[in-house]
Chains A and B, each alone.
Chain A
Amino acid sequence: MCSAFHRAESGTELLARLEGRSSLKEIEPYLFANEDSPVLGDILEFHGPEGTGKTEMLYHLTARCILPKSEGGLEVEVLFIDTDYHFDMLRLVTVLEHRLSQSCEEVVKRCLGRFFLVYCSSSIQLLLTLYSLEAMFCGHPSLRLLIVDSLSAFYWIDRVNGGESVNLQESTLKKCSQFLEKLVKEYRLVLFATTQSIMRKTSHLREGPSSAFTHPSDAGVDYRPYLCKAWQQVVKHRIFFSKDDSKTSNQFSLVSRHLKSNNLKKHFLLLEKVGLSFVHMYHKMVFLQDGVQVLKSL
């Protein structure tokens, strides 16, 4: 028996690496190995209850982008749209300092120079801000990553403002989703958006459009889609975050589901004071009696 490290570099990753192009496919190899890597123009959704590591993952990905190439980063610019005023600059700086070989103020400031933050306090303001940011995307060709944390922040306010009509309630978010898709495709960006699990999962499956989105493998995942259809349609890749209920309080798991290919993957994360890290999944080769080899995960 032997153990083999479970991560194969795909052909595209190898090429990108050799050619020296800063492809966002390398943004997080553990999360996005092989054909499910985020391609420029992709929209990914991080979904989960509070305290499960979604925002921490965003800091992890942001750090990876804004760090210089010499320190293992991609040296691209990031635009972070914060809708619930949760952004913690000190936390981002902690994550950066932990990754730098020599963390001096100068280097940190240069990294942060590649980072842009916008606060939005309503869905209308979010939409108008996206329109005015279009000029920024034109002027910053190295701006590759767009983050929205979180897209569900205005859900209840929009519902109240829309009155009885579901169309009215969802209209602004629908326009935001459509405009985001347009921006992401036109300017070759990758969008990571977080949505919070504010709805409890129903214990029985219901008939109706929502059941079209539940998948048998979602049984373990607390997911009930509540944002507008327009958003559901533009998402390529949905990643569910959850916390392990066991005593170890800093281990989290996430299930990543590529919506087109329906590939499901599970990963484990450790959240520490200095940032998050992936727990390596090791596989064991098991020899069966008739000589058939089977990969068994430990």
Chain B
Amino acid sequence: MGLLRAGLCPGLTQDVVQLLRGRGIRTVVDLVSADLEEVAQKCGLSYKALVALRRVLLAQFSAFPFNGADLYEELKTSTAILSTGIESLDKLLDAGLYTGEVTEIVGGPGSGKTQVCLCVAANVAHGLQQNVLYIDSSGGLTGSRLLQLLQARTPDEEEQAGALQRIQVVHAFDIFQMLDALQDLRSTVAQQVTNHMTRERDSGKLKPALGRSWSFVPSTRILLDTGEGAGASGSQRTACLIKSPRLPTGFQETVDIGTWGTLKQSPALQGHPT
């Protein structure tokens, strides 16, 4: 979008494009912001035709405002909250993953991010009978692991097969492959992404990777950490809510990623893990 060319919109012929270009009007913005009377005189074009052209270009390339009441109606029918299948995680997320939002799971290596993704995929495909698009850029997804999770939910092989069929896997090992996969997605979805941790340069504190420009994008962020202190076994993790549009941050839950669900959690602790 930008350059004026023949056929871009009705009324924009090659002749008109040439005449305009001759006067330094090359882009849509140039034409829309120009003084049309002056342009009409200099280019020998009809003022009325230029005004009509401007209106058509604006209608075609500008965004259309929605009324709040209409939007609200539509939202009431199309929004859903998808349970992750992990009770403690659902608590941190205020019932689950919201459609229309991006939820980020961040943690160091071995903290259980991929495990959480697999659990969620299995729950949505089997428990909620919905389709899942799993974009794997780390190679952590295996069919056998998914099957294991489903087998823990139901012994019925047909159900397991049905759930597996609802999970579409895309391998994307560079950003362009990932963008391609996302372009094809049309319906209202809830998005869950994982991110790695990195160290802040000055203070040495751990913080999510990808920097500030990314950090604005997700509405919700959960930090996974290997649990510390007495009683922390190999498969226990603490999940801490560090960003949320709905709930106060700082709450922690304990998740056992070894078993399917959670163990009896300690009462929600406040405070930052690092």
Contact = CB atoms under 8 A, between A and B. Distances in A.
B264 interface: no
A93 B245 CA distance: 13
A19 B151 CA distance: 71
A196 B72 contact: no
B72 A119 contact: no
23 contacts: A49-B212, A50-B212, A84-B217, A86-B219, A109-B69, A109-B72, A112-B71, A114-B68, A116-B66, A117-B68, A117-B71, A120-B63, A121-B63, A128-B28, A132-B62, A175-B33, A198-B212, A198-B213, A199-B212, A249-B248, A249-B249, A250-B248, A273-B247
A125 B61 contact: yes
Contacts of B75: 89-90
B216 A84 contact: yes
Nearest to A203: B202
Contacts of B32: 128, 131
B230 interface: no
B270 interface: yes
Given A91-B246, A124-B29, A247-B270, A117 B212 contact: no
Given A84-B216, A117-B65, 5 more contacts: A89-B75, A113-B67, A124-B1, A196-B216, A271-B248
Interface of B: 1-2, 28-29, 32-33, 57-59, 61-69, 71-72, 75, 79, 101, 202, 212-213, 215-217, 219, 243, 245-250, 270-272
Nearest 8 Cβ contacts at the A-B interface: A115-B68, A112-B68, A249-B250, A132-B62, A129-B62, A132-B58, A128-B62, A112-B69
A254 to B, nearest CB: 18
A278 interface: no
Contacts of B62: 125, 128-129, 131-133
A207 interface: no
Contacts of A127: 29
What is the interface residue range for chain A against chain B? 35 or more
Interface string A69-110: 000000000010000101011111100000000000000111
A246 B58 CA distance: 49
Nearest to B215: A50
A80 B139 CA distance: 41
B69 A118 contact: no
Contact of B63 (A50, A93, A125, A156): A125
Contacts of B249: 51, 249-250
Contacts of B217: 84
Interface in A169-218: 172, 175, 179, 196-200, 203
B5 to A, nearest CB: 15
A4 interface: no
A39 interface: no
B183 to A, nearest CB: 13
Contacts of A199: 212
A136 interface: yes
Contacts of A93: 72
Nearest to A130: B62
